Amino acid sequence: MSDDLDRLNDRLRDRLKAAPPAPDPDARARTLARAMENFDAHTEAAQETAPEPRPTSDRPDGAGFLTGVRAMLNRLTKGPILAATASAAALGAGLMILMPSLTGGPHAPLKAPVAPTVTPTVAPTVAPSATVAPKPENPPEAATRTVAPADPAAPVTEAAPPAALPRAAAPMPAASMPAAPAADASGAAAPSEAEALSEPMVEPMVMPAPSAKMAAPAPVTIEGSAAFGYADRIAPPAPTDESFANGPANPVKVTAEEPVSTFSVDVDTASWSIVRSSLAAGVLPPPEAVRVEEMVNYFPYSYPAPAADGAPFSTSVTLFQTPWNKDTELLRIGLQGRMPATTDRPPLDLVFLIDTSGSMDEPAKLPLLVQSFRLMLDHLRPEDRVAIVAYAGSAGLVLEPTAASDRARIDAGLAALQAGGSTAGAAGLTEAYRVAGQMKQPGHVARVILATDGDFNVGIDDPQALEAFIAKERDSGTYLSVLGFGRGNLDDATMQALAQTGNGTAAYIDTAAEAQKVLSDQLTGALFPIADDVKVQVEFNPATVAEYRLIGYETRALQREDFNNDKVDAGEIGAGVQVTALYEVTPLGSPARLSDPSRYVVHQTRRSLGELAFLKLRYKAPGAKTSERIEEVIPPTPTLNPDDDARFAAAIAGMGQLLTGGKYLGDWGWTEAITLADGARGPDADGYRAEAVRLMRLAAALPH
């Protein structure tokens, strides 16, 4: 047996050694010549100020074995317990078991990041502008470099050097973290977690306290993310094998040239969860994982409920001064879906399509998934029915359609799920839709709920074929929701594509608490569409608006003519779901205008000054073929007292932009974002907003 295995191993070795063909001499010569050109360009540029090179390595040169272990432990258990008790044996065992999930190796910059050594006496606003948003600040000299962020490919590789974990010192007002003993920065003996594991490279990071709440002497705190209550989170492994869907940030549009902005609603919140799990692990999220609209939409707002007999959702429009630019205004458009009485809801036919491939065999994946579904079962009613299809290698019906009241059978089905084998997402989907088709009854809502880490690597590999298949099923009335689990090979792009095509939602679940929010609290919303193909079109008035910019919704843009085309698919709104969109609007005559007015083109405008914009919404009643339309005039007068919801949404939009380069933010930075968000928390019964403020503080402390 072992001889056979060795033979196989040798065979692989021989074949691999023999595999590479001789390099093509032309390609070789071309590459070498271009590399030399780059070398010359680089040495020339190096005479001026050389940009910090992106760390090429997943970890520093010459980093020792312990560095990896320490970084890993920091990710996995932020609590001090392990640091204090870990014996050599425990370290060794932990490494063997846990390292496979950290495939890319612990991320750490090659060079120690430059700690912003600002002394506490410096005004707090100086610090973030110096460390967070260097690009917009030095316009003349840096002109050539500021072009870089506009390149859609560049940020993927160049802008996201993962952060050194132990350096994730977070500035926090001491008062708001009772569990954390704040250490004096000057106290060399400060017992930080990093030092407990004795890593010579790590120096205490000194950060000015960002909050205005800090008292005058501004004690500087040194603190790992341990104290923020994330110790129970499963930290993501190095996200080297993940892919995300996002486009370049929407550019500023000149109203006179392009007055109409059209997009599809997006009720997904997956991006926020990814941002959160990255920050909680002390790593900046990859910019392409940051979708501003999904971050904004994660949070509940108190929009008025729609009238009982009118459209299925209401609109709340607010215009107020932009926090990061006093010469522009933010237009907040909020949609609130109707929440039907839960007793009225139609029975549900749910097919759980569960990825049991080998990659799901991690605590944050299959076990969390099973736990999540159990939570959901508690909210189902006896007339609802559930089926489970597993896919791994070959798709199989694990649980026949079963009444939700038969908990014992469902539990047994869930318990029987085991991870192993490779993923064939398409085969599983076919089977799930087949089962859903069988279960389907008039008056019931059928939905396939796909739970996966997104690793579709066997079966139909062609994303287009997969989408075409889902689109066909969507038209037959079966919806699709996608739940992402675990980090490491989360294929966000595929998940997004599937959910958007399937008229469903994509959510990313990293903790049991998030499962509670997504599956239980929002059960009705996530599962009952009240409006399909919801499109938003805003026509700005060139007589009052010089320029505008839609913040987020890059992946949801529609053509102007698509708005009235009922054949063009768009997002759905579920019961009680809220959607928020933000435009940054530059009024005519504002000094903030970025483009020069046209010398020759004079626009004829109608009904001028009394209107800022005209808002149009289109939606279809679920299952309907033709759309309804809602229209509303938006007046040009900004409110002086925007409510908490509007200001908080603005703060989150600012956070999303800070995480993606903050091209339009000027010197507005983390300090301002934190102050704004902190002051707009409102009642915040579930603590989501408080958590956001904590995460902003973590983000502010990470090297950008």
Partner 1 sequence: MTPTDDEALAKAAAAGDRAAFATLLDRHYDRLFAFAFRLTGARAEAEDLTQDICLALPVKLASYRGTARFTTWLYRVAVNAAHDRRRRAATRARAADGWGDWEVDRQAAIAAETAVEDWLATAMRALPRELRETVALTLGEGLSQSDAAEVLGLSEGTIAWRMSEVKKHLRGLARAEGML
Binder among 77, 79, 86, 105 for partner 1 (CB under 8 A): 105
Q: What is the DSSP string of 144-172?
A: TGGGGGGSSSHHHHHS-PPPPGGG-----
Binder among 86, 212, 317, 493 for partner 1 (CB under 8 A): 493
Candidate ranges 42-50, 79-87, 424-432, 675-683; the one touching partner 1 (CB under 8 A)? 42-50
**Helices H, strands E: what count in the chain?**
20, 16
Minimum CB distance to partner 1, residue 585 (Å): 30
Do the Cβ atoms of 54 and 704 come closer than 8 Å? no
Tell me if 628 contacts partner 1 by CB under 8 A: no
**Binding to partner 1 in span 428-467, by CB under 8 A:** 456-457, 461-463
Exposed / middle / buried, residue 544 (Cβ in 10 Å: 0-12, 13-18, 19+): buried
Tell me if 57 contacts partner 1 by CB under 8 A: yes
Tell me if 329 contacts partner 1 by CB under 8 A: no
**Binding to partner 1 in span 163-182, by CB under 8 A:** none
Report d(CA 674, CA 173) in Å as an integer.
12
Give helix 688-701 / helix 270-280 axis angle, nearest 10°.
50
Report d(CA 79, CA 95) in Å as an integer.
18
- Region of 38 (left: φ > 0; alpha: ψ -120 to 50; beta: rest) is alpha
**Binding to partner 1 in span 262-321, by CB under 8 A:** 288
Tell me if 36 contacts partner 1 by CB under 8 A: yes
Binder among 48, 61, 141, 309 for partner 1 (CB under 8 A): 61
Q: Which is nearer to partner 1, 61 or 141 (CB)?
A: 61
Tell me if 92 contacts partner 1 by CB under 8 A: yes
**Binding to partner 1 in span 346-365, by CB under 8 A:** 358-359
Tell me if 418 contacts partner 1 by CB under 8 A: no
Name the residue among 436, 478, 446 with its Cα closest to residue 348.
Answer: 446
Residue-wise over 440-456: b if at least 16 C-beta within 10 A, else e?
Answer: eeeebbbbbbbbbbbbb
**Binding to partner 1 in span 652-671, by CB under 8 A:** none
Tell me if 9 contacts partner 1 by CB under 8 A: yes
Copy the structure tokens of residue 132.
């967070």
- How far is CA 152 from each of CA 22, 159, 249, 282, 682, rounded to the nearest angstrom? 34, 11, 9, 25, 37
Tell me if 402 contacts partner 1 by CB under 8 A: no
Q: What are phi and psi of 599, to 5 degrees?
A: -75, -30
Q: Which is nearer to partner 1, 1 or 84 (CB)?
A: 1
Q: Which is nearer to partner 1, 58 or 195 (CB)?
A: 58
Report d(CA 425, CA 393) in Å as an integer.
9
Minimum CB distance to partner 1, residue 170 (Å): 25
Tell me if 46 contacts partner 1 by CB under 8 A: yes
Q: Which is nearer to partner 1, 336 or 500 (CB)?
A: 500
Q: Which is nearer to partner 1, 50 or 633 (CB)?
A: 50
Tell me if 55 contacts partner 1 by CB under 8 A: yes
Tell me if 557 contacts partner 1 by CB under 8 A: no
**Binding to partner 1 in span 118-157, by CB under 8 A:** 153, 156-157
Binder among 77, 79, 95, 218 for partner 1 (CB under 8 A): 95
**Binding to partner 1 in span 591-620, by CB under 8 A:** none
Tell me if 31 contacts partner 1 by CB under 8 A: yes
Residues in the chain: 704
Instruction: Provide the CA 660 distance to its chain's centre, in angstroms.
Output: 11
Cα pseudo-dihedral 572, 573, 578, 582, rounded to 10: 30
Tell me if 100 contacts partner 1 by CB under 8 A: yes
Q: What is the CA radius of gyration of the chain?
A: 27
Q: Which is nearer to partner 1, 161 or 306 (CB)?
A: 161
Binder among 211, 240, 314, 564 for partner 1 (CB under 8 A): 240
Copy the structure tokens of residue 651.
């703060």
